[in-house]
Amino acid sequence: MAAWLAGHRAAGYRLALSGGLDSLALLEALLLLRRAGRLPAPLACAHVHHGLQPQAQAWAEAVAARCAAAGVACAVLRVRVDPRDPRGLEAAAREARYGALAGLLAPGEALLTAHHLDDQAETVLLQLLRGAGPAGLAGMPPWAPWGPGWLGRPWLALG
């Protein structure tokens, strides 16, 4: 993890923290690096509250509490998602989520997500089923320009 971050420097790192196991594990890894003095830039988190699940408020509160206990700033962003969106609920939620997260980044900062190899395989399979061309079949890049900064997926090669 430290080597990945050293090769993907940013002015700051903002972790997209869903409250699921993957993103919480990535938070813990980043906190270990911070305690060891090996995190190359400041860390903050962001949680997107879609309001689509009965547990959404509890998830937001749990994420905010974990971040507060670790001394990490956490923005909880509320978004509206139209459940009748013709693209489907998941696509509409993803667009709303990434739009809200992009608004938080300052120039040179990186948004980190906990996507991993299983997520990559799912992405490629869905693209294949949709008849995507080479760009779609390439899957998600581990590091790419995004908004005013970067989008990083440090665990993308991990199964």
* Domains in the chain, number: 1
135 part of a folded domain:
yes
Chain position carrying tokens 């972790």: 15
Regions of the chain where pLDDT drops below 50:
none
What is the reported pLDDT for 139? Answer: 86
What is the reported pLDDT for 113? Answer: 97
What is the reported pLDDT for 59? Answer: 95
158 part of a folded domain:
no
157 part of a folded domain:
no
137 part of a folded domain:
yes
Instruction: Give residue-wise pLDDT tens across range 115-125.
Output: 988 878 887 78
Say if CB 33 and CB 70 are below 8 A apart. no
2 part of a folded domain:
no
What is the reported pLDDT for 140? Answer: 85
**Structural domain range at position 18:** 7-152
159 part of a folded domain:
no
What is the reported pLDDT for 73? Answer: 98
1 part of a folded domain:
no
Query: Mind spelling out the 3-state secondary structure of the chain?
Result: CHHHHHCCCCCCEEEECCCCHHHHHHHHHHHHHHHCCCCCCCEEEEEEECCCCCCHHHHHHHHHHHHHHHCCCEEEEECCCCCCCCCCHHHHHHHHHHHHHHCCCCCCCEEECCCCHHHHHHHHHHHHHCCCCHHHHCCCCCEEEECCEEEECCCCCCC
In this prediction the pTM is 0.92
Domain of residue 80, CATH code: 3.40.50.620
